[in-house]
């Protein structure tokens, strides 16, 4: 019942755009999306050319510095990251302080925020040397934090990083390895996880990236800005969707696997029932990342001795939805997270860790966008306007007269 036209007249010249559906808040040279055509490019390179060819660190370099690295540049970049994978010993107390069943995304955002208490080596967060150090520290320490969050949740001792290993291998060992025991990283698992990180590495002005930019626009440091991004990613409409998809598939399975009746409930708009992992603000066509993930899910799950019946439920859901007018007319297609959870589950990650894996992948994108923002002379503090709909002026009523 709100008369937006009247309110706009009263407020003056502002754009009313809830959810920023049509508002570009910055100019960016990092990621290009054509949502109608289903195109995604990092710095001009199509995602399907990067996925499976460029490593995650190579892709991170591309996003952060703008060009694909030479072998020497990549070795130097990964070498610097390797030097910083350890967490400050005192940071371990954080992990002891959280409840055992804490969600690892909440632990991750708290620990990333805490990094700015340990690394205050410049009062100017925009000092280029500080920016470089913060970049390397974040890339290096976030996987360690993520593994520690997981280890605490299962009551196992923490494992120090082994810097002889690659980026993803090191993360897998810290997560699944046990002290004083050899841990062999499965090369296929490492390769697929690395590729999933590439697919998640940036996605222009999504909710978490816009959050990183908004917080950073007040000149807050990189750790504070990225920690806010982690919190934005936590929600089930954004990064939390990968956890929500798996929970949805499990719920359908527990109720006897009746996919059609679940789709009916979605179409009837039963409160709280959505086809999670479907739909996207920008893609009105098949998400190019989802096509790659679907293939990877089939490859990984086919390697398993016992097939996961959840893959079958997911494929049935997709088939029914893509042939149903409700989804077709609204241009709802699977997004990147429809199939990722099945792969993470097959790799042995508990559901609560899925969004943390998304955060590990998105990290270079957040860093690249923050760095682009602070060097852009047109950047201003983010400060949206509003349409006021509250009471007009009224006089204070003393307590005894209310």
Instruction: Note the residues at the interface with ligand ACO (CB under 6 A).
Output: 19, 237-239, 241, 266, 274-281, 330, 332, 335-337
Q: What are the Cα distances from residue 400, in Å, to 37, 165, 276, 371, 394?
A: 64, 71, 52, 55, 17
In the complex with ligand ACO, which residue's Cβ is closer, 232 or 301? 232
* Residue-by-residue DSSP string for 184-250: PPPHHHHHHHHHHHHHHS--TT-HHHHHHHHHHTTT--HHHHHHHHHHHHHSTTTTTHHHHHHHHHH
Comparing CB distances to ligand ACO, the nearer of 41 and 274 is 274
Name the residue number minimizing CB distance to ligand ACO.
279
Q: How far is the CB of 287 from ligand ACO (least distance, A)?
A: 8
Distance in Å, CB of 12 to ligand ACO, minimum: 27
Is 400 an annotated catalytic residue?
A: no
The Cα–Cα gap between 327 and 30 comes to 31
CB of 275 to ligand ACO, least distance (A): 4
> Least distance in Å: CB of 277 to ligand ACO?
5
Determine which one of 194, 202, 287, 337 is catalytic.
Answer: 337
Active site residue 325: no
C-alpha angle 239-365-147 in degrees, rounded to nearest 5: 60
| Biggest distance spanned by C-alpha atoms of the chain | 77
DSSP string, 138-165: HHHHHHHHHHHHHHHHHTPPP----TTS
Instruction: Beginning with the edge strand found earlier in the chain, give each strand of the sheet holding 39-42 in spatial order.
Output: 31-34, 39-42, 45-46
Helix H or strand E segment including 80 = helix 71-82
Q: Which is nearer to ligand ACO, 190 or 276 (CB)?
A: 276
Residue whose CB is less far from ligand ACO, 214 or 321: 321
Q: Which is nearer to ligand ACO, 186 or 324 (CB)?
A: 324
Q: Which of 200, 280, 324, 325 is catalytic?
A: 280
Q: How far is the CB of 137 from ligand ACO (least distance, A)?
A: 26
Residues with a catalytic annotation lie at 280, 337
């Amino acid at each position: 019942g709100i008369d937006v036209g009247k309110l706009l007249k009263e407020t003056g010249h502002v754009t009313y755009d809830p959810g920023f559906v049509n508002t570009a808040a910055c100019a960016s040279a990092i990621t290009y999306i054509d949502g109608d055509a289903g195109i995604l490019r990092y710095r001009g390179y199509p995602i399907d050319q990067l996925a499976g060819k460029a490593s995650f660190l190579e892709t991170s370099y591309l996003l952060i510095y703008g060009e694909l690295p030479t072998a020497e540049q990549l070795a130097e970049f990964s070498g610097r990251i390797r030097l910083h994978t350890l967490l400050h010993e005192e940071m371990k107390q954080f992990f002891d302080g959280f409840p055992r069943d804490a969600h690892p995304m909440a632990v991750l955002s708290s620990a990333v925020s805490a990094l700015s208490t340990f690394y205050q080596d410049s009062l100017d967060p925009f000092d280029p040397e500080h920016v470089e150090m913060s970049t390397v520290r974040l890339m290096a320490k976030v996987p360690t934090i993520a593994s520690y969050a997981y280890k605490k949740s299962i009551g196992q001792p923490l494992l120090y990083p082994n810097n002889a290993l690659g980026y993803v291998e090191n993360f897998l060992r810290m997560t699944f390895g046990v002290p004083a025991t050899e841990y062999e990283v499965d090369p296929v698992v490492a390769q697929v996880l690395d590729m999933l990180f590439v697919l998640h590495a940036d996605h222009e002005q999504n909710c978490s990236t816009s959050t990183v930019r908004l917080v950073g626009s007040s000149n807050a440091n990189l750790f504070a800005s990225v920690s806010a991004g982690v919190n934005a990613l936590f929600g089930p409409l954004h990064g939390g969707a990968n956890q929500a998809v798996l929970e949805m598939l499990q719920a359908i399975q527990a109720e006897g696997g009746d996919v059609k009746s679940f789709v009916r409930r979605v179409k009837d708009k039963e409160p709280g029932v959505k086809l999670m992992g479907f739909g996207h603000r920008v893609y009105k066509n098949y998400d190019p990342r989802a096509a790659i993930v679907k293939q990877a899910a089939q490859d990984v799950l086919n390697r398993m001795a016992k097939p996961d019946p959840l893959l079958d439920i997911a494929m049935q859901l997709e088939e029914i939805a893509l042939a149903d007018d409700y989804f077709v007319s609204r241009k709802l297609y699977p997004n990147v997270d429809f199939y990722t959870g099945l792969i993470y589950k097959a790799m042995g990650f508990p559901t609560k860790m899925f969004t943390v894996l998304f955060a590990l992948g998105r990290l270079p994108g957040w860093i690249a966008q923050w760095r682009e923002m602070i060097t852009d002379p047109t950047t201003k503090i983010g400060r949206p306007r509003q349409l006021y709909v509250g009471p007009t002026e009224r006089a204070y009523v003393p307590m005894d007269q209310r």
